[in-house]
Structure 1
Amino acid sequence: MKAVVLKDYGDVDKLAVQDMPEPKVGPGEVKVRVIAASINPVDWKIRRGDMKAMMPLKLPAILGRDVSGEVIEVGTGVEAFEPGDRVMGLVNAGYAETVVAPTEAWAKVPESMDLRDAAALPLVTLTGVQLIEEQVQPSKGETLLITGALGAVGRAAIFAARARGVKIWAGVRRKQLVEAKTLGVDGVVALDDPKDVAKLPTLDAVADTVGGEAVAAVLGKVKHGGIVGSVVGEPKGAKEKGLTVRTFLSHVDGRRLEQLGVSVAKGELVIPISRSFPMSDAKEAQKLAEEGGVGKVLLIN
């Protein structure tokens, strides 16, 4: 099969399309013909070597955590899926023509959803929802700030927090303030404007999706003992301020992913897609995604 392979750590020129052995399906696994994959920050962080210690690779390696496609084979013991099913999943080695992953990684795609668009959902929606539901766990009426609120993970976090009856503040850059007001939250704050940050009310918790100066700017607004949940590592100075810090990596959850797919199909949760590229143009696609902006970048087979 053809796959986008990382030959060595470095820039996008370390990516190449080449033939790789096709994965074989085992017990409890599902094999899928990949229609589309999506690019996430973890992909270029791995490519650059930023995550060698946490996620070491045996090179050459196939990147990619999100895919959508059609089931072509199931292993023994699999009852939830059958050949022909339209699915999306949180996997490994997704930049390829076929991929194999455990049953629990997969979710069926709603009939009304474009199968290619479904590739944008698994990692970002599960990360944002798990950040709220499993880590921060805000209670009804509490005040929560979500950093990077216009990003895909931030949008999923807002969706999950809204379901819990939380007062939501969206943290964005000053240039994003107008767009952020379309999110339907209780308040919007420019995290790169100290005067704007100073106007924030006391926060019960922060759900951090970006890290760095953005979250550092608001730590002083969190009540003593308040929670800071982060998908990008422990914020510097948070524990020293008496805050409870919870960091995590997202995990597969096919049941929840299927529910989130239905919410996207209904328009209750919106994950913007900026652009699609052929899988063979993965270098250009990763370069564009790494430059930042709002919207997922897809790779299409």
Structure 2
Amino acid sequence: MSTTMSVIRVYRYGGPEELKLEQQPRPEPQEGEVLLRVQAAGVNPLEWKIRQGLAKDFMPVTFPYTPGDDVAGIIEGLGPGVTSFEVGQAVLGRGNGTYAEYITAPAEAFVLKPAALSFAEAASIPVGVTTAWRGLFDEGELEAGQRVLIQGAAGGVGLFAVQLAKWKGAYVIGTASTANLEFVRSLGADEVVDYTTTPVESVVKDVDLVLEGVGERTMRSSLATLKPGGKLSSLAALPPLEQAQARGIQAKMIAAHPSRSILQAAVQLIEEWRLKVSVGKTFPLAEARQAHEYSQRGHGRGRVVLLV
């Protein structure tokens, strides 16, 4: 086994050109950790926002750093005290600095990968499904029969949110670009609004919950669709709390804290064919810059994934 590895490093805030491919010593697992040979790493929009410095007020970084959170791979080593996994098992989960050939992370950050999923599919799941679950259920308290609007329904969070909300028994309305309307319908959405041609607030009213996955430019329309007393779960920007309060709306910014229990629940739904996984465009690790450039353009379908 090589003692070095390829890894992406960022030394200062800036554009995609700040993503540098380098060689670094391979890490060693400590107490309670596993060594993971990374097969695929998800690219989340938050990662290019952090790289640009757009999130430094609430998510500062120490340079140099390696981006990445979503990951799928093969366990190659066990730290002291790890009994929940064996070397050679394929897993998915969340790590720190996953744009690399190897990472170490706490064993409890991972669950076994469903055999039917590719590593790219597995790496597209953790942040997306955890964020959707928290926004809909933990914070949104979504119940069967309620109406939910999912802004950005074709994206890495939105595609899981549509399916989870339908699984819960909600009436689901999604927004998507023209190219993704049929895709969102195929996920089970009851209605799909083409945001490139139709202001969503002109056709959607009195929803109980909005999962706001786009950001500031759609926040006002999201608020306008909610009934008084409704809830707004914002994933991409701080919601306008004063405006929300004036209308009796509970607005919260959702942070996708890792949750093994949510991952396990999602994996079970996937294995029962109740939850579909859809990967967006894939890039090799050496093309992390191009992956970020593509992600920044928006309007994508599914999670962008780096193949390691």
TM-score (norm 2): 0.90
Asked if structure 1 preserves the Cα contact closer than 8 Å seen for 2:239 and 2:252, the reply is no
1:183-198 matched pairs, under 5 angstroms: 183-191=187-195, 197-198=201-202
CA 1:195–1:295: 2 relative to 1, 3 Å? closer
Count of residue pairs the alignment pairs up: 301
1:296 pairs with 2:300: no
CA 1:174–1:238: 2 relative to 1, 3 Å? farther
Determine the structure 2 residue equivalent to 1:165. 169
Q: Deviations over 1:223-242 (max 9, x none)?
A: 21211111123322322322
Residue 45 of structure 1 aligns to which amino acid in structure 2?
A: K
How far 1:285 sits from its partner (Å)?
1.9
Asked if structure 1 preserves the Cα contact closer than 8 Å seen for 2:39 and 2:73, the reply is yes
**Secondary structure in 2 matching 1:213:** helix
Asked if structure 2 preserves the Cα contact closer than 8 Å seen for 1:203 and 1:223, the reply is yes
Which of 63, 66, 70 pairs up with 2:70? 66
**Secondary structure in 2 matching 1:116:** helix
1:103-252 matched pairs, under 5 angstroms: 103-173=107-177, 176-191=180-195, 197-236=201-240, 237-252=243-258
CA 1:263–1:198: 2 relative to 1, 3 Å? same
**Secondary structure in 1 matching 2:148:** strand
Residue 236 of structure 2 aligns to which amino acid in structure 1?
A: V
Asked if structure 2 preserves the Cα contact closer than 8 Å seen for 1:275 and 1:296, the reply is yes
Q: Which aligned segments of 4 or more residues in structure 1 are displaced greater than 6 angstroms?
A: none
Unaligned runs of 5+ in 2: none
Q: Deviations over 1:15-44 (max 9, x none)?
A: 111122332322222220111112110111
Asked if structure 1 preserves the Cα contact closer than 8 Å seen for 2:176 and 2:195, the reply is yes
Which of 249, 270, 273 pairs up with 2:279? 273
Asked if structure 2 preserves the Cα contact closer than 8 Å seen for 1:194 and 1:217, the reply is no
CA 1:134–1:127: 2 relative to 1, 3 Å? same
How far 1:138 sits from its partner (Å)?
1.2
Q: Deviations over 1:231-285 (max 9, x none)?
A: 1233223223221112221111223213323433554323322332221121122
**Secondary structure in 2 matching 1:61:** coil
* CA distance in 2 between partners of 1:183 and 1:211 (Å): 22
% identity of equivalent residues: 30
Asked if structure 1 preserves the Cα contact closer than 8 Å seen for 2:201 and 2:224, the reply is no
Determine the structure 2 residue equivalent to 1:258. 264
* CA distance in 2 between partners of 1:217 and 1:143 (Å): 16
